[in-house]
Amino acid sequence: MDLRPLGNTGIRVAPIGLGTVKLGRSAGLKYAAPVRIPDDDEAISLLRAAADLGVNLIDTAPAYGVAEERLGRLLPQVAPRQSWVLTTKVGETFDPQADAGRGASTYDFSSAAIVASVERSLTRLRTQTLDVVLLHFSGGVSDQAAILKQGDAIAALRRLQRRGLARAIGASTAGLDAALAAIEIGVDVLMLTLNHDERSELPALAHARTAGIGVLVKKPLASGRLPTGNAAPQALREVLDHAGVASAVVGTTNPAHLRALVAAN
């Protein structure tokens, strides 16, 4: 796969990235089918397939259970650190025991929490620098735009960036207002949802492209809920055809599925 520029960050990514929530968490997810966390051998097979295919973007988060720790152990067994573009997030944590075992997220976008989260991620991922760090917004955060415009969270990420702990910073948003707010304050990278059914953030793409902001797409396959007749490779191709999209992140744990997506795109 030819690498695409991630906006003006100087980072280049494969058009298909690998999401890793299923490597560390099975509760509280909204996938079409139940999630089974793969064992280490299965996870290494997946990561080796990614490396062989040229998939260099690995997307993770503290809210993905033990995914960061596992990646820190397993990625060096597959390829050297410079082969990977590591993207993680701050602001959300997930407790699998909360809500009577169904699991629940909590959110903290304070400067202190952001710094502590990045330091933990560096330790878990066994790296000295994170390629991309994003504020981890979801539908559970109703004041995303206000958090962005207030500025403390982004300022904390910028300070970490100046310390060399993150190459690029930005936000993973849930809604057009938040996406536009992130663009307005000048983030480096924006992660938004775009698929056949969810297109509310699509208007942000042109603004991000004009501003030189790198765009990553989450849930390009609608969490396994594609409409009848819209096969995964076709759905992914529709997302990647949008100007300004650097990479679409898919959350598969199946090497054959990953190979099929790459082969079709």
Give bridge partners of residue 215 from the DSSP assignment: 190, 245
- The predicted-structure confidence for 171-227, as pLDDT tens digits, reads as follows 999 999 999 999 999 999 999 999 988 999 999 999 999 999 999 999 999 987 776
- The predicted-structure confidence for 137-163, as pLDDT tens digits, reads as follows 987 888 999 999 999 999 999 999 999
Q: Please list, in sequence order, all residues whose beta carbon lies within 8 angstroms of the beta carbon of residue 6, skipping any fewer than 6 positions away.
A: 12, 13, 85, 132, 168, 189, 214, 216, 246, 247
User: Mean pLDDT in the chain?
Assistant: 94
Distance, CA of 21 to CA of 66 (rounded, Å): 9
Which of 93-102, 108-117, 240-249 has the least mean pLDDT?
93-102
Predicted confidence (pLDDT) at residue 1 exceeds the cutoff of 90: no
Distance, CA of 76 to CA of 93 (rounded, Å): 25
Distance, CA of 117 to CA of 130 (rounded, Å): 12
Predicted confidence (pLDDT) at residue 75 exceeds the cutoff of 80: yes
Predicted confidence (pLDDT) at residue 228 exceeds the cutoff of 70: no
- What is the average per-residue pLDDT within 122-148? 95
Query: What is the three-state SS of 166-233?
Result: EEEEEEECCCHHHHHHHHHHCCCEEEEECCCCCCCCCCHHHHHHHHCCEEEEECCCHHHCCCCCCCHH
First to last CA, the chain: 8
Q: How confident is the model at residue 101 (pLDDT cuts 50, 70, 90)?
A: confident
The predicted structure's pLDDT at residue 123:
98
Name the burial class of residue 263, with classes exposed (0-12), middle (13-18) and buried (19+) by CB atoms within 10 angstroms of its CB: exposed
Predicted confidence (pLDDT) at residue 229 exceeds the cutoff of 80: no
CATH T-level topology, domain 12-253: TIM Barrel (3.20.20)
The predicted structure's pLDDT at residue 119:
98
- What is the average per-residue pLDDT within 221-236? 80
More confident residue, 228 or 207: 207
The predicted structure's pLDDT at residue 138:
86
Pairing of strands 130-136, 166-172: parallel
Predicted confidence (pLDDT) at residue 250 exceeds the cutoff of 80: yes
Name the burial class of residue 33, with classes exposed (0-12), middle (13-18) and buried (19+) by CB atoms within 10 angstroms of its CB: exposed
Q: Dig out the tokens for 86 from the structure.
A: 């590591």
The predicted structure's pLDDT at residue 140:
82
CA 89 to chain centre: 8
Q: What is the number of residues in the chain?
A: 265
